[in-house]
Amino acid sequence: MLKKEINDVLKQIVFFTAAVLLLPAFLIITTIISDQSYFSVFFPLFQFGLIFGAFFMGSSLFSLEHGQRGMEYLLSLPYSRLQLIGFKILPRIITVMIFFVAFWILYNAGGEDLAAFPFAPFSAIYFFLFLISLSLSANSENFLVLFVASFFSLFICFGLLFLILWLVMLIKGIPFSPLFLRYFFTWEHAAEASAFILFVASIFLLPFLISFILSFKKYDIRPAKVYNRRYFKFFTPILILGFIVSFLFVYWSTGTGYRQYYLTQDLKLIESHPYSGIKIYEDNKVHKVEADFYFWWPYLEDNEYLYDGSFNKIIRLNTTDYMAELLYEAPSERDITWQFWKYDQTIAFVERTEKRERNRKRYFSDNQLVLVDEASKELTRIPLEYQLLEKSYSPTLIGTDRIDGRQFWLICTGRYKKNQILRIWEDGQIENIGESQKAPLYVNRMLISYTDKDVIISREKEGHFETIRKTPNSQGFQFGVGYLRINLNNVSLKEVYGWRRGPKSLKYARLSLENFEIEEFGETKGYLQFFYPDKYYLVETNHIASAVNVYEFKEGKMKLLRTFSDFDTTEIRNRFRLCKGGVVIREGKKVRVYAFPDLKEIKFKKL
Amino acid sequence: MTEKIVEVENLKLNIGRKKILDNTSFELHKGESVVIAGRNGSGKTTFLKCMANVIFPDQGSIIFSEEVPQEKIGYISDQLSLFENYTVKQGIHFHASVFQIEDFDYTLINELKLDLKQKIKNLSAGERTLYHLSLILAQKPEILLIDEIIHVIDPYLREKFLEAVIDLMDRCQTAVVMVNHTFSEIEKIPERVLVMEKGQFILDEKSETLGEKLKKVVSEAEISKEVPCIFQRELSYFREYFVYPFNEQLRKKFPYDYKNTGLNEIIKAFIGGQYVKKGNQ
């Protein structure tokens, strides 16, 4: 019996594969879209094909038997109904998984930029549609009816999910927004938010699957309405139960959602939460910040101000008068790229519009360097008309300076074409001043860039950057903690630290900004964290000992500040955060705070 | 009496609001041959499909004895349902693998001179019936269920079909349940005759006693209303009365000319009687 099903499914695969492979070729040959490559036509069609294939795989469970008048014969075979389902489902599930793996491989092999649907929504639609159409396959012999019913059910699944999310938001008083789901998820990582949404949506699959299994146990050749009546007798209460369970789960999980904490340099603890807003703890006081927008995460701390740039908004929180202020919000079609930077009283960032070429590859048009004056909120927009930037996913501002009264900004194009370094002048003039193998750095009015073997130190001289020193860098260290230098103010530094990733650990080195010598001084696991202007810390997690060590780098020495041996590193929801003021540990609802310089524990009475 | 191999108790089955089976009960014994008759829509095909596991009753139970696993039930449906896109050979291989048949007997297939590469859907109704029977025979079934199929095949194949069934009964002690309208061809087969009406068996008699219990009176005049007549029909200048149940006391009290009649006519009388009843309601 299993052999018969495998044969049937193989025949379906042959037809499906032939159609999906030949259609793009046909379109290209007939010159309808002759200027495109086969793959660029194939991949979006492949996605649509897979969606319909998933529906077909599910809904065709009994179509062959119906089509060849074999249903009575099938049911009279010496198998229980559940065995029959097992024989039929097994090869179909394997097929659906094989096609999904094929999709995954092609998606990662260049399909991502060509995709008609992004990965996560596509995967959800693909598997949901397969399971829904599978569970409805015995409800009708009519393919068109099954098609409408399956897609409608898919819509119902996601519709109910959004209804629940919306209802819970309404009850909890979370402001509705087109981006409401981003504001809504209670766990800190987007991946978990997707898993959360997928989990809740999956609850609505259960009525379909359970009803199918229960009602198919007594499936027979009577008219479909007899089976359908039995199916809906199971389906309706399970759907209602599923709705209640999902609602309670969403209500509960958002109700106990985790809060974000940040410790400022002057030892104020900032608590932010998607719907209970922002609170600032000080010794024995707590202040609630009134704001109509959500403050996601303190991205930059500068004196009494904290800045957040999430969701294309730049928000400034004043920790002395407890006011939050929206400094800038990008127009709906525009994106603030990568992050924002600050110098003096100016916030600077690259803003652009994401578009797709005919072959569906992404590009970025209307690139602008936007400068926001914090005091007046006045905007200056400098067009960045440079073709390389249209292809660069992450143009990064690495520095700014003035020469002869003229301001310039240095932008690195990111990994695209080996980090081209561009200088942008106030009048929009752009000059390419070279390339760097690794992310360059502008510090002490010097540009630090890299060749394969050397660190190149150059300085502005009469309109161009002149190399003043080449330091051999055979170990391939990268200095300055990459792009994390958010504050671009030019201050005088004695040293910068850097790292090189080895096979099992990280090696650390110091670059003296006085004699430009590289001094390798440590090898460990962990990550380097930088705070403007000159603080470097290393956070080392030891999962075996369940401990976290925090080191400080100073004058070429690595000093252990504290070992946190009571932190459970295995629980993924626990958070160990290094902030400008110290360390905040959150384990479940319990929060502990440790302040620099020696990381002694401090208490907040109202916390 | 031989051992009981099936016990059907109080089957109930509705389709929509229509009662198809209504508290139907039935027993079958090893090697027994049974014919179920009844007018169209009386529920006999549904009853057979319930026994073949193709339809589940809403209520009631069908209990097979331990020596009758599902692999030992052969079913030939009125639709001659098979995977008709298969070739004759593929169908045999599939059936043999599912029913774990090691030595498939090709005698019947060879007698029909069927091309093994031919698709099942291209077989004539008669060939398809015999082909289906050959699949079932290979199962060496304990029970053979045949649903209203004999009348669609020509006399030559019909004889072959019946010979094969009788041979199976002799060889394997197989119990046969046939649903049929006409009895002229199969009069020798049934040991028991059942008539179904509105989902219930209104007659369940041994063939040998049925002839004793039902007599025909042919008369120009009307017979007494006290005589239990299940069906009467008017012919050109006389009438036929079918008397059931008949006994010798009845003959003494009402001395008509009671005649024996064949199984075909007996069944026709029962079915005709139900139509008359329905007309009077």
Domain locations along chain B: 4-206, 207-280
Q: Is A2 on the interface with B (CB under 8 A)?
A: no
Confidence at residue A372, expressed as pLDDT on a 0 to 100 scale:
94
Confidence at residue A183, expressed as pLDDT on a 0 to 100 scale:
47
What residues form DSSP beta bridges with A535?
A531
Domain locations along chain A: 1-117, 138-257
SS3 assignment, position A194: helix
Q: How far is A26 from chain B (nearest CA, A)?
A: 31
What strand order describes the sheet that includes B229-234?
A: B229-234, B239-243, B215-219, B258-259
Considering only CB atoms, which chain A residues are within 8 Å of B73? 76, 78
Chain B positions contacting chain A at CB under 8 Å are: 15-16, 49, 52-56, 69-71, 73, 75, 77, 79-85, 94, 97-99, 121
Question: Which tens digits make up the pLDDT trace of A305-332?
Answer: 999 887 788 899 999 999 999 999 989 8
A69, A78, A220 ranked by CB distance to B98: nearest: A78
Please judge whether B54 and A75 are an interchain contact, meaning their C-beta atoms are less than 8 angstroms apart: yes
User: What does the pLDDT average to over B114-142?
Assistant: 91
Confidence at residue A233, expressed as pLDDT on a 0 to 100 scale:
93
Instruction: Give the Å distances, CA to CA, from A543 to A246, A575, A585, B27.
Output: 35, 14, 16, 72
- Copy the structure tokens of residue B98: 């599912």
Cα–Cα distance measured from residue B234 to residue B224, given in angstroms and rounded to the nearest whole number? 16
How many angstroms from the chain centroid is the CA of residue A250?
21
Q: pLDDT-derived band of residue A54, with 50, 70 and 90 as boundaries?
A: very high
Cα–Cα distance measured from residue A560 to residue A537, given in angstroms and rounded to the nearest whole number? 10
Cα–Cα distance measured from residue A75 to residue A80, given in angstroms and rounded to the nearest whole number? 9
Cα–Cα distance measured from residue A369 to residue A352, given in angstroms and rounded to the nearest whole number? 9
Confidence at residue A256, expressed as pLDDT on a 0 to 100 scale:
47
Listed in sequence order, the residues at least 6 apart from B255 whose beta carbon sits closer than 8 Å to its beta carbon are none
Q: pLDDT-derived band of residue B136, with 50, 70 and 90 as boundaries?
A: very high
Instruction: Give the Å distances, CA to CA, from A367 to A340, A352, A383, A487.
Output: 14, 5, 6, 22
Confidence at residue A210, expressed as pLDDT on a 0 to 100 scale:
95
Q: How far is A124 from chain B (nearest CA, A)?
A: 35
Confidence at residue A254, expressed as pLDDT on a 0 to 100 scale:
64
| Chain A 192-221, residues with CB within 8 Å of chain B CB atoms | 218, 220-221
Interface residue of A74, A76, A88 to substitute, partner B, most B CBs within 10 Å: A76
Question: Which tens digits make up the pLDDT trace of A419-436?
Answer: 899 999 999 999 999 999
How many angstroms from the chain centroid is the CA of residue A584?
24
Please judge whether B52 and A76 are an interchain contact, meaning their C-beta atoms are less than 8 angstroms apart: yes
Contacts of A51-55 spanning 24+ positions with Cβ under 8 A: A51/A122, A51/A125, A51/A126, A51/A129, A53/A16, A53/A20, A53/A99, A54/A96, A54/A99, A54/A126, A54/A127, A54/A129, A54/A130, A54/A133, A55/A129, A55/A130, A55/A133, A55/A147, A55/A150, A55/A151
Does B61 have pLDDT greater than 90? yes
Considering only CB atoms, which chain B residues are within 8 Å of A78? 69-71, 73, 98-99
Does A16 have pLDDT greater than 50? yes
User: CB count, 10 Å around CB of B162?
Assistant: 15
pTM value > 0.90: no
Q: pLDDT-derived band of residue A175, with 50, 70 and 90 as boundaries?
A: low
Please judge whether B84 and A69 are an interchain contact, meaning their C-beta atoms are less than 8 angstroms apart: yes
Interface residue of B14, B19, B50, B55 to substitute, partner A, most A CBs within 10 Å: B55
Preceding peptide of B245 cis, ω within 30°: yes
Q: Which CATH superfamily is domain B4-206 in?
A: P-loop containing nucleotide triphosphate hydrolases (3.40.50.300)
Confidence at residue B258, expressed as pLDDT on a 0 to 100 scale:
87
Please judge whether A78 and B49 are an interchain contact, meaning their C-beta atoms are less than 8 angstroms apart: no
Question: Which tens digits make up the pLDDT trace of A108-149?
Answer: 887 777 777 788 888 989 999 999 999 999 888 888 999 999
Please judge whether A222 and B69 are an interchain contact, meaning their C-beta atoms are less than 8 angstroms apart: no
Does B63 have pLDDT greater than 60? yes
Does A300 have pLDDT greater than 70? yes
A65, A77, A222 ranked by CB distance to B55: nearest: A222
Cα–Cα distance measured from residue A436 to residue A256, given in angstroms and rounded to the nearest whole number? 47
Question: In degrees, to the nearest 5, what angle opens at C-alpha B100 toward C-alphas A213 and B89?
Answer: 100
Summary mean pLDDT of chain A: 85
Question: Which tens digits make up the pLDDT trace of A55-71?
Answer: 999 998 888 888 888 99
User: What does the pLDDT average to over A497-509?
Assistant: 81
Q: How far is B129 from chain A (nearest CA, A)?
A: 13
Does A12 have pLDDT greater than 50? yes
Listed in sequence order, the residues at least 6 apart from A487 whose beta carbon sits closer than 8 Å to its beta carbon are A300, A302, A341, A342, A343, A532, A533
B69, B83, B99 ranked by CB distance to A70: nearest: B83
Listing DSSP states for A382-442 in one string gives: EE---HHHHH-S--EEEEEEEETTEEEEEEE-TTTTTTEEEEEETTS-EEEEEE-SS--EE
Chain B residue nearest residue A62, CA to CA = B83
A67 burial (CB, 10 Å; 0-12 / 13-18 / 19+) is: middle
Chain A residue nearest residue B68, CA to CA = A78
